[in-house]
Each structure stands twice: as structure tokens, then as C-alpha cells.
Structure 1
Amino acid sequence: MRVVSWNIHWGCGKDSRIRIHAIIDVLRKLNPDIICLQEVAANHPELEGNASANQFRQLAGAFGGYQPVLEPTSEIYQNNMPRQFGNLLLSKYRITQVHRHSLPWPPDPANPGMPRGLIEAVVEAPGGKLRMLTTHLEYYSQIQRMAQVKHIKDLHWEACERARLYQPTPGLDAPFQLGFRPGSAIYCGDFNFTPDSPEHAAMLATDDSIALPLVDAWSQTHPDSARAPTAGLHGFKWPERPACYDYFFVTEDLVPRLNDVTVQSETAASDHQPIVIDIT
């Protein structure tokens, strides 16, 4: 099983031109089973390069064999047209449940930020059902970002507890049917924090609950290697120097199945690099 996570910067490369086809080409070469994308745009001509096309539709159409889950976390209307910006998940595997979680957006006088969200899809992966989750946390406001991390951990506890308490109940009316939602999970995306940050530590923190502990998949697969940067390459204006902002966090029960985590550093199609996890 191969998963790719990528903040595509609405397809805007270092030459300030939007080339969604370049994003598609890279993804096809990587040949993932699940694709998790952040900073997908629709009807945003004011963004660098003019992101006026519906990229959610373009990307879903380019991967017709995948089931799409859209989550435009920001949706602002102008002339009755929605300007959308957010996350997209595409899966070759059958999806049995989808949950779209809005993340906290507490007021921060210094940084307004933008709405953020988390896609959760229960997929029938080869090794069994698991939850696949992707997000893009706030960059400018540490207050908002930490609140979002804490909420993700609460949602993780909730999922693990529900997996313990509830089994599928097809006798209930359809909206109440409890399809199996496992605790096992892969969290990925642009978390906008560095490995030495309090937010990273909070993602990995354990407590006395029954929640499956989360681990940083890179640290598990590269215990003696420096972390590869996921942004700051190819001469983009941001950030000032190469650093890691993009991660895979997996539940502890999936660690024996980890094969590798890699960063695809060659492409300049976005200001972030695609990151790839391979699991048996």
C-alpha cells in the first residue's frame, strides 16, 4: 500500500505559473493507492498564477479509478460563485465511511488565519480496514495550530473509543448504522510545524486513555538519518531555508508494517515536496 501526501500550492510552480498537469504527472509516476492533497483551489483568480479553474474537478477527473473525497475548508462566495480552497483525498481502495472534521479556529489578534479541516476516510486496505486522514494546519498562528493539534488528538481518542464500544448494527435506520470505524489510522498532510516544536510533541504525547499511540513514521523508518526537508527547495520565496513541515503519523499497531517513508525532492511543481509512505 502506497500513500502520497502533498501540499500542491494550487499547482503554482517556482515560475509563478499554474500547471496542474505537472502535479498529475508526478502523482502518476509515484503510482499511489491513496492520494492526499492540500491547497487545492477552485475559482480563486486572485491567487498567484490565477487559480480560476476547479482543481478539485480536474484532479478527480485525472484519476478516474480513484474515489474522491473533497473538503474545501474555505468557501467564500463572490457573485454567487464559491471560491474554494482545501483538501482532497483520492483512494483506489473502497471507502466505507467519510467524516469531514472542522478544526478549531480560535481568535488570535496577531494572526487571523484561515479555516482548517481534516478529512477522515475509512478504507478497505489490503491489510484490513484503517482510517486515512489528511489535514493542513494553520501556519501563521501558533495559538490556532496547537488548538488544532489538540482537537485532532481528541478526535483520535474518540475514534479508538468508538471502535472499542460499537460494532456494525445494520438493523438501525440508515443514518444511525454504525459501520466499523477502526482505531488504526494514518494521519498525513502539511502540519506547518517542525520536528522540534511543541505541536509535534503534542501529536506524539500519550496518556492513560485507550487511544492507540501515534508515532512519527519517518523516525521509525529512518532512526539514524537526518530528516529530509519537505519545503524550502528549488528557490521558492518561502520558507527561508529547507525544513520539514509535512508528516505521516501512524498508530502504533501499524509500525511493524512500515516499509519506508520518502520525500520526493526532485519536482519543483509546488513549494512543498510530495512525501510517500509504503506499508505492507
Structure 2
Amino acid sequence: MRLISWNVQWGRNAAGGVDLARTLAEARRLADFDVLCLQEITRGFAALPGHPGDDQFAELAAALPDFTIVEAIGADLAPLGPLGPGVQRRQFGNALATRWPVGRVTRHALPWPADPVAPSMQRVALEAELQAPGGALRVLTTHLEFYSVTQRLAQVDALRRLQLEAVDHAAHPAKAETTEGPFTLTARPVSAIVCGDFNSSFGSEAYRRMLEPLAGSPAFIDAWTTLHPGVTPPPTAGVYDTEQWSSGPLTCDFVFITEDLRDRLRSCEIDGATRASDHQPVLLELD
């Protein structure tokens, strides 16, 4: 299983040019991925720097015809112009593409406690249950708040609660009401991968909290540090785009896996060469 997690900033490279097709070509060059988890995909946000296309989720579907594309919108805003039927809304969120069968998909709105001193937006975690060759597992991709520590910590706590909820569903599943309706079997895989842009530096309070024990569930471990013990991971943001990251590079993109997947962990690397985004991609491989 090969997974790439990448904040692609709507296909904007380190020089400021936007071309989502170019970004996807770079992802294919990096790995023959089975799962591609992307953050900062847009619809209706043509006014952003570089002017992304009207519907990048549709662009993904067209570029990856052999993959299932699922999306989750965090910020869902009115258009800048007049409101009216058929007027495109401005949407900003995450996407997951996979060549494996997709079961239940859940879109979790993350907590957004008031923080009057920090600009912020609604954030989301996209969860997909995948029928992977090594067994079913859940993959979640997310993008936590940048400016507010209060909100980031609340969002980390929510991700941890979601894992406990899944474990409870696995232990106490409810039967389906019918085979045709939406009330399906509630059993869920315990094993999970949670990846994305956590906007939390390596070793920060939010990072440490993500790794704390979970009562009744396998804890999360950092896939990169598990395979590189005692080593500080390289930066994942601001390596080449020094204009947006004027305060210097930051390590804030992670792939966390539940501890029961430890023995299947084969590699986890941060690509430090590509300039296709202001972030560097994280590549994971599991048996």
C-alpha cells in the first residue's frame, strides 16, 4: 500500500504558479500511489493567488479516471458577487483519491471554538473506509487551523475521539435495518491512518497530544519517527516558498497510524526535492 499525503495549496507551486495537473503529475512521479490524500483543494475560489480553476474536485476526477475521488468541504462560503440560483459557492477542503474499493465515507466537521484574536475557518476531517489488500482500514485526511492554538488543540482532541468512537462501533456494531437503506451495519475498522497538514510543529503540544495513549484503543504513532528513531524530521513547509514562510521552514505535515499497523510499516519519507507546493509531500508504504 502506497499513500501520499500532501498539502498542494490548490496546485500552487513554490514560485506561485497554479497548475493542478502539474501537481498530480508530480505525485505520480513520486510514487505509484494507491491512496492520494490532498489538502487545500478548491471550488469557486478563482480569486485566490494564481487563480485556480472553477472546480478542482472535478479536475481530480478527470485526471484520475481509475480512482474513486471523495471530497470534504471545510469552508463553504457565499460567492463574492450576487447570490442567486446556480451561482457557484466558494468551497475549500480536502480530497482523497484511491484505486481501492471505498466503503463508508464520513465527513467530520472539526471543532471551531471562538478565538477572537485569530483569523480562522471551519475545518474538516475526511474519513473513508478502504478495502485494502491487507484488510479494511480507515484513512482520514485533514487540515487543522493555522492561526489558533486553541482551535488546533480542540481539533486534535476531536480526531482522538473519532478513533475511540470507531473502536466502540467495532466492539458494539448495530445490524443493518435493510440491505437497501442508509441504516447499514455500523461496524467500523479499528485500524486507521490519519494524515495531513496539522499546522502544528514537530514536538508541539498538539503534536504530543495526538500521540498520547487512548483508553481501549491502539494509540497513534508517528510513522516517520517510528522508522527514524531519535531523528528530527525534515521541514515540510516553507522549504522553497520563503515569501509565504518568511519566519522559516516548519515541520507540520504528518502521517499518524494506529499502533496495530506498526508491523506493516515499511517506509515513510518526506520528499524534500519537489517545488510543486509550499509543502512537501509525505510518502507512506505499508505491507
Shift of 1:243: 2.0
Q: Which deviates more, 163-172 or 20-29?
A: 163-172
Shift of 1:167: 6.2
In structure 2, the gaps of 5 or more residues are none
Q: Say whether residues 1:10 and 2:10 are aligned partners.
A: yes
- Residues 38-95 of structure 1: per-residue CA shift (max 9 Å, x gap): 0011221221111243111111211111111111211112243211111000111000
Question: What SS does the corresponding residue of 2:251 show, helix, strand or coil?
Answer: coil
Q: Say whether residues 1:236 and 2:218 are aligned partners.
A: no
Task: Choose between structure 1 and 2: higher strand proportion.
Answer: 1
Q: Say whether residues 1:211 and 2:187 are aligned partners.
A: no
- Equivalent residue number for residue 102 of structure 2: 95
Aligned AA (1:59): L
Shift of 1:245: 0.6
Question: What SS does the corresponding residue of 2:140 show, helix, strand or coil?
Answer: strand
Q: Distance in 2 between matches of 1:69 and 1:21?
A: 18
- Equivalent residue number for residue 227 of structure 2: 221
- Equivalent residue number for residue 77 of structure 1: 78
- Equivalent residue number for residue 28 of structure 1: 28
- Equivalent residue number for residue 146 of structure 1: 153
1:161 touches 1:211 (CA, 8 Å); kept in 2?
no
Query: 1:234 and 1:112, CA in 2 relative to 1: closer, same or farther beyond 3 A?
Result: closer
CA RMSD in angstroms comes to 1.5
Structure 2 matches for 1:12-161, cutoff 5 A? 12-29=12-29, 30-78=31-79, 79=82, 80-161=87-168
Query: 1:168 and 1:221, CA in 2 relative to 1: closer, same or farther beyond 3 A?
Result: farther
In structure 1, the gaps of 5 or more residues are none
Structure 2 matches for 1:145-224, cutoff 5 A? 145-166=152-173, 169=176, 171=178, 174-178=181-185, 180-207=187-214, 209-224=215-230
Aligned AA (2:236): T
Shift of 1:169: 3.9
Query: 1:52 and 1:173, CA in 2 relative to 1: closer, same or farther beyond 3 A?
Result: closer
Aligned residues: 279
Aligned AA (2:115): D
Q: Distance in 1 between matches of 2:162 and 2:16?
A: 37
TM-score, normalised with respect to structure 2? 0.93
Q: Distance in 2 between matches of 1:171 and 1:14?
A: 51
Q: Distance in 2 between matches of 1:263 and 1:238?
A: 20
1:97 touches 1:179 (CA, 8 Å); kept in 2?
no
Q: Distance in 2 between matches of 1:9 and 1:230?
A: 13
Shift of 1:168: 5.5
Q: Percent of pairs identical after alignment?
A: 38
TM-score, normalised with respect to structure 1? 0.95
Q: Distance in 2 between matches of 1:127 and 1:172?
A: 26
